[in-house]
Structure formats: structure tokens, C-alpha cells
Chains A and B, each alone.
Chain A
Amino acid sequence: MSENRNANKSHKAFVYINDIKTAMEISMDNHFGPPRMKQHLLEIDAQSNLDLSTLILIVENALFFMSGERHAILKQRILRIIGPAKKRKWDYIIEEAISESISNLSATKQIDLIADFTYPIYRNATQRLLGISPENPQIFEYWVPKLQELLEPLLPLRTLGKMEEAFKSLLQEVKRNRNTNTDMKKNEFIPLIDDLIKNPIKNFTDDDYYAVILVLYGASLNISQTLGNILFQLLKAPEEIKKMASNPKWVNRNLERLIKSAGSAPYVHRVSSDDARYGDYKIKKNDNVLLDLPQIHTGGCPFQQLDWGEEKIGRNDHLAFGRGIHYCVGAGFARHLMERAIVMLFVEYPDLVIVEQTLDIVENNPIVALNSLKCKLNE
């Protein structure tokens, strides 16, 4: 997979990093910044007849493309609301979303863990967290995954044009249907969008906030995808391991290892601001440096048979959430959601088995994930 990517884009300086040590160092080194996507889009906007104002707005408010003071302030604000230290404020949202999905499962005979479990949990929990309730869920859900494509460097103009149109309506959807829950109960979690609009940040507009939550919603799709990959691995695991998946302590202890081996983000993209030399890698100023996460974490394929021998992995021993100042703001939320979803699923259905032998992997998308994961209850 990584070889293909490599070959496709060899026309400009792309450096693929395949070892964790270098990848960690680069993540912590502020000579490597996010791709200058805004600049890139502005240039296209100026030189072509395309109007990319919506995409530019999105990119301006996507933490992974931001840097400097604006990035720091926004990140800090978001973490103060949805960060792990506020877990007690939002964890009931996750519990409710998981319970609902599990109760829906029992009604179905044939289960698709992606469509029936990981995806609805992601959708319901994240929408409540951020304050989104789309009027046209189907159209909305169709376009949201495309947000992840914006991460791809050097998209063709035609795609950009299509995305501009789509995101314009997505943004409208988010705005029009904001969850303005007026009769909020005491202690109920105040969604991120409401908090941002109520307590504005200097130099941010309401449009910025809507773009922020839209981006966060799109980025959070990784939760569903990674959780799906984790469930696949657990279902494929030897019986004694699979049995442990209903044990909260075991899941807690092994969560980082599961995330590392099942993360759905394919790479972290950085641009070098200087010539640098890292071990065998020679990096030039303005090179695109891609930290190839599947290579770094699993030797290339997250769907291979795992070696379940003892391996202690801490939160900083992998790059599934990135590292350094662009560390994922949703990491705390995602961790808790996945941990609870694994435990609750296997407590309820300890005898789940995969029914299909061939993997239904997402194609043509810069993501490492499953389209579906068909299971049945082993009777």
C-alpha cells in the first residue's frame, strides 16, 4: 500500500518515514510544520476560476493545518471543553450512545459491526459532543468522510471544485441545525459549538466555529474506523485473548496496543522548514515528510495476525494520535469511547464471530479501515 502511494506522488519531494524513532523525533521537532494547505488553496483560488472560499475556511480552522498562536488558543479552548479532564462531564454521552447501539444489535440477526455498531456510536456521541444535528442526515453522512480526503496533498482541481460545493452545503447544514437546546437540564453537557459561540475567542467568527466543529466531526470518523479495526483484531484473536475483551481491566491495560495496531489514520503529513538529516533520511527544505503510520506501527498491514505476546505500550509509544503540538485534541474522548465500546460489546455478546472470510477494506480513500464487518452470534 505504501509503495503505491510512494510511486504516485514522486514528482515532488516526498519523504516517507518508516521507523518510529525518527517519526517521534520529527513530530516533536518544530522545524516540521503542517502542510501549508491554506496557502496552497489560496494560490489555486487566485490562479483558477474556482472559488475555494469554503475549503479555505475549513482549512483555516482545521487544527492539523494550523500553527502558531491561533492554533494554540483554539486547541486549548477545545481541550478545556472536550478534553480528558472534562471526562466526567461528557462520559454519559458515550455510555448512552453505546447502550443504544447495543440494544439495536439484539434486534438484528446478521450484524455489521461497522454499520450497526461503531458508526452509529461515533455519529451519535460526536454529534452530541460537538452540537450537530443535520436535517438531511444521509447527504450529510455521505460527504463527511470526504473531509478526510482534504488531508491528501495535491488533490486534482476537479475534486477540489466538487468538495467546495459539498462543504458549502455541509456547513449550511451544521449552521441551520445547531442543537440549540434551550431547556437544558442542570449538569447536562454543553456542546462545544454552544460553548464557543457563547464565549468567543478573539479573532474568531461564528463561521470559524462552525468550520471547527465540522472538521472535528469529520476527523472523528477515525474513531469508528479504528474501533472497527480493533474489533476485527479481537475477533480474529486466539480464544483466550478474545475472552479477555470483556474484562475492563485487561482492555484498559491493552488499549494503547490495540490503538497502535489498529489506527485508521494512514500517515501524518509534515513539511520541513529547513534542510535536515535524520539517520538515513535526508530531508530538504519544503520537503513533504509523511510519517507512514501502518509501516511504523505494524510493518505495513494492520489486518495481519497479531503476535499477542506480552507487550507493554504507553500512550506516548505510538503515533496514532500524533505527537507534539499537533497531538489529537479528541484523543481522550476517542480512547474512552473505544475502551467502553469494546468492553460493553463483549460483555453483552461474548460469542460474536466473523462470518465473512474476505476483508471488506475501504478502497480509494486515504484511510486504513473496513467498510463492513459482518458477524453473527455464535450459538
Chain B
Amino acid sequence: MSLKQCHIGLSVSGHDPAIAIIDEKGEVAFAEATERFVQQKRAWGILPDHPEHIRSILPKYIDNNSEIFIAKTWLSSKRELPLNVSGGFMFEDNDIKWLLGLQSYSFNEAGNNIRHLYGDKVKKDECFDHHLTHAVNASYSAPFSNALCLVIDGEGEVGAASLYRLESRRLKRIWRSWGPGSLGSYYGLLTKLCGFDWRVGEEWKVMGLAAYGKFDISILDNLKKLVQVKNGKLFFPPSKEVLDLLVELRKSGREHNEDIMKASDLAFNGQLAYSYFLDQILKSIQLESDENLILTGGCALNSAYNGTIIKNHNFKNIHVPSAPADDGNAVGAALLSWMKYNQTNKIPSGDGSPYLGTDIRDNLTKKKRQAILKHHSFSRVESCIADSGYQVAQLLYQGKIIGIMRGRAEFGPRALGNRSILADPSRLNCKEYINSRVKGREDYRPFAPVVFEKDIKRFFDYNLPSPYMSYTLPWKEDFLKKIPGVVHHDNTGRLQTINKERNPWLSSVLNEFEALGKLPVLLNTSFNVMGKPIIHSVEDAMAVLTTTGLDGLLIDDLLIVK
């Protein structure tokens, strides 16, 4: 499977580094965030071509005849810019300095490890506009060829929002926002005010906590003043005003060591204000009804907001890619390199599969497999090539909590069945049990349901396919009591929808589970423990199995039960 042309995208933001490979046909051959390999959340300051990571990937794609093209996800090192277009008041000065330093380091140094390994096989080293790499990545997996494509993140080359039009798979920028106004920075600030740490991506915690809060007009009004949206573009008010607002907002906030629920109203209204800002942007950009929308950039991870778009706006279809944040840009940059080489501005069309990372079959060597079979001390270890779906469904039916590590790893932050922990959501207390005994995290954090695409309307109010868990939707009332494990405090669920074609194995589990007389809904949470990225190696998975309350584990076809 060696490639003649190997376009390697490197995500060089200084956080969330990732590597992607595009083959000569313009298809993604591989994509993976570096955090998985190094097992450090967001992999701050680590190069996307980490020397050991690339040695575990590239030899599969590169031989003596290969030509390598390196593509980076920024046009410039932001520290070099004399103009301050960075996060503004939302971050402390020393945070900004640190962020710029890491971006500059990654931007300047990334690629050297590939060059060290492959020398003059590297033919080119190119840099691409940050928001464009977001937009290209998202357009590649979009199931349509015409759309408005909105990029919203913490920061781009000159600002934190860009609007593109995708027409016959060709992108053209309509506008971009300049200056420090940024919804990514806003959410980072909200995270901090709620007593969480944006540095390790605890925005999730705010989103989860929001369900416990109540509407408070004075908090909301103050939050709304933090960002101004004019014609879709984002602005911050003068810093003096912001400082006054922060004094007020801190009163509803929480220190890191205080009771989490203290910040619930702030989280609720913070999410509400965020929705208000994004609604304004969407209203200003949609000129015609019946338009498709592609939403990407780090802010597209706000599944709670994404789920409200279908209700409040008039878009025909919505697409959020599996990796909308800066890891995904590696794919965008590599595609742009491929497009440049092939002299086309038409973005290739991908099949939408998020399973683009390391294949566990490459990691579970014969030797490791035999060692497990021979030396284990579990009650049951067996190879079940033919019926692993049935076996897992049986265990789930019995109330077991099973870790799954099959096929290729997902690209993006969500576990979508290949690096997941599955459970039966109908069991009382399963949420609390998994949170405390398996993942070691706060007991209010929600879990996601897996349902068949055909069943969306049965369970939810809106018919919105969600193959990458991009949307949170309200459950129909009938089911709230039946599957408590996947109903959040506000009666919503961040669903993953599957079908037989794209998810044959997970579909077989769900089918078998239903055949046992259960509702066809599974609890799916990422296979990791709190504070760590999703597992990467066989050893990572075994460590979680042996150090937590997890009941069993399926690695490829090797079923291990405690």
C-alpha cells in the first residue's frame, strides 16, 4: 500500500497536533491526533510529526519511490505578526504569550522529524490558511457539494470566524472576521469562570453542567455584553467594560476547589449566550432558505448548540465533520497540498468514515495475542471471530460494562464504537457506576446513546442523523425513564446514529441487543479514564481493564472478561 504521492498534513497550532495522509487519488489514507500516541490530553507543545508516532505509521505508506509533500495548517507563525490579532482580554497576557510560543515552535519545527526520517524524499513543504484547512477538511466529508461553510474557532490567521461558499465542491471565502473577537476564547473564559481548565479541554464540563442550571437574566445580560456580533463578525467590547463585567460574572462563578454545582447557573446562561451569538451569525449569513450548512472549527464541537440549529434555523442539511477542531486541519492541509499538486480547486469527496486512525490489528501482534492467551489471569479469554457482536450484546444484556477496541481508531474527539466503552443504558445507576468506577469522573457527566439511523424519529423530536455525535437532541418523553443511562439532566442525549453500511459491527451488537428484548439503544462513552486521551495501544486498554471497574474488553476479536 505504498504511495507514490504522499501528502502529509501536519496540524501545527501548538495544541491538538495531528497527522494526516492523503493518497494520490485524493483520499484520506490515515489521520490521527498525536495525543492518542503520546497519551497526553491535547498534546500541548508536541510536534505533529512526533518521531516515534511517524515511525509507527509512515513505513506502511512510504517506500523508495514515494514522494512526500508536507502541508501545514497555518500560513504564518503568529508570534511574528506585528499586529495583535490574538485572544484579547479573554486570556491572561502570559497565556497568550505561551500559546503564541507553542504555535510558533510547532509551525517552525514541524516536518523536521519527517525530513530526518526520509531526507530528500520530501519534495515540498507548504503552508495553508488556517481557516481554509478547517473548511476543506469539513467539505471533504460533507455529503453534499453546495453549502455555506462557517468556520468558528478560537483564532485564525486574522480573526476567529470565516464564511465560505462551497459550490460544486469548490470553496470561496465570502468574508472573514478580523481582530480578537472570538467565540472560542469566549467559551475558554466561561470555562475558567466556572472553575474548569480550558487548557485540558474542560469546555465539555461546562456544557454538561449547563443542564443543571437555571435561567438568570442578569447573568445572561452580562454574558451577552462580552461579544458583539455585527454582520456575522465578532467583536469584543473595550477592555475596561470587560473588566467590569468580569467582576460581576465572577460572583456567579466558582473556584476550582468549590462545589461544582455552584457554577451551574453560570454554565447554563453561558451556553445560552453562546447560542445567542451563534444564532445571530447564522441569521446574518443565511440569505436563502434551503441552503446546506457546513459548520466547523473548534466551536462546532458544541453539540448542545448544534442540536438547536435544526429547530431555530432553516437549513436544508447540516454537516459537522468528525474532527472539526485543529486536529482535523491536518486533513484539510494535506488535501490542499494534493489539490495544488493536481492543479485543481475541486475538493475530493470522501466517504465520511471517521475511522481513519491506527488499526488495532497492527498493534495486536501475534506475539501480544499469544502472550495474553497464555499468561492471563482473567476468567475468560477467547477468540470470537465469527460472533463477537453477539457475545458483546450478551454481556451488555447481563449488565456488564465492556471496552471495545476494534479496527481503526476514530479521527476526532468522539469514540464512535471502535474505541468505546459500551453498556446497557436501561440499567438504573449505570451512569453513576461508570462515572465513578470506570472513568473516575464527576457523577453529573452525561453519556451518549447509540441508535439506528432509522430509529431517530422514534426516539427524538427531530430527524437529524448524527454519525459523529455532533448534536444533542431532546428525547421523546416516553423514553426518559426507560434508558436513564443516556438521558442527561435536561432530558437530552448526544446521539450517535449508525447504519449497517457504515457501522456493520456496531449494528450487529445493537441488533443482537434488541433481539434480547431490549430497546435498541446502547450507552457509548469514550474508552479512557478521566484526564487521559482515548486509549491507543493494547497496553493502554489492558491498563484500563485492570485498574477500573470495567467488566470486559474486546480487542479486535479477542474477548477478555474479568
Contact = CB atoms under 8 A, between A and B. Distances in A.
Direct contact of A and B (CB under 8 A): yes
Contacts of B82: 30, 324-325
Interface in B45-95: 80, 82, 93
B86 to A, nearest CB: 12
Contacts of B93: 69
Contacts of B80: 30
Nearest to B240: A202
Contacts of A324: 82
B285 to A, nearest CB: 34
A30 B104 CA distance: 13
Interface string A323-351: 01100000000000000000000000000
A79 to B, nearest CB: 16
Contacts of A69: 93
Nearest to A69: B93
B149 to A, nearest CB: 34
Interface residues of B, number: 3
Nearest to A68: B93
Nearest to A325: B82
Contacts of A30: 80, 82
Nearest to B93: A69
A375 to B, nearest CB: 45
A69 B93 CA distance: 10
Nearest to B239: A202
Interface string A351-367: 00000000000000000
A21 B82 CA distance: 20
A30 B81 CA distance: 9
A69 B97 CA distance: 12
A343 to B, nearest CB: 36
Contacts of A325: 82
Interface string B234-257: 000000000000000000000000
B18 to A, nearest CB: 27
A30 B93 CA distance: 18
A325 B84 CA distance: 13
B218 to A, nearest CB: 27
A257 B82 CA distance: 28
A324 B93 CA distance: 23
A324 B80 CA distance: 13
Interface in B84-136: 93
Nearest to A28: B82
Interface string A55-76: 0000000000000010000000
A31 to B, nearest CB: 8
A71 to B, nearest CB: 12
B68 to A, nearest CB: 26
A325 B83 CA distance: 10
A157 to B, nearest CB: 34
A325 B81 CA distance: 12
Nearest to A324: B82
A205 to B, nearest CB: 19
Interface in B196-229: none
Nearest to A72: B84
A325 B80 CA distance: 13
A202 to B, nearest CB: 9
A361 B325 CA distance: 64
Nearest to B80: A30
Interface string A63-107: 000000100000000000000000000000000000000000000
A82 B112 CA distance: 49
A274 to B, nearest CB: 10
B78 to A, nearest CB: 12
A148 B82 CA distance: 28
B80 to A, nearest CB: 7
A30 B78 CA distance: 12
B476 to A, nearest CB: 54
A73 to B, nearest CB: 11
A324 B83 CA distance: 12
A108 B82 CA distance: 51
A30 B82 CA distance: 8
Interface string A1-41: 00000000000000000000000000000100000000000
A69 B86 CA distance: 13
A37 to B, nearest CB: 21
A69 B94 CA distance: 12
A70 to B, nearest CB: 11
A327 to B, nearest CB: 12
B308 to A, nearest CB: 39
A72 B490 CA distance: 48
Nearest to A31: B80
B85 to A, nearest CB: 14
A324 B82 CA distance: 9
A111 B375 CA distance: 105
B38 to A, nearest CB: 27
A115 to B, nearest CB: 42
A38 B82 CA distance: 23
A188 B80 CA distance: 42
A5 B354 CA distance: 65
A55 B80 CA distance: 31
A154 B128 CA distance: 45
Interface in A305-336: 324-325
5 contacts: A30-B80, A30-B82, A69-B93, A324-B82, A325-B82
The 5 closest A-B pairs by CB, nearest first: A325-B82, A30-B82, A30-B80, A69-B93, A324-B82
Interface of A: 30, 69, 324-325
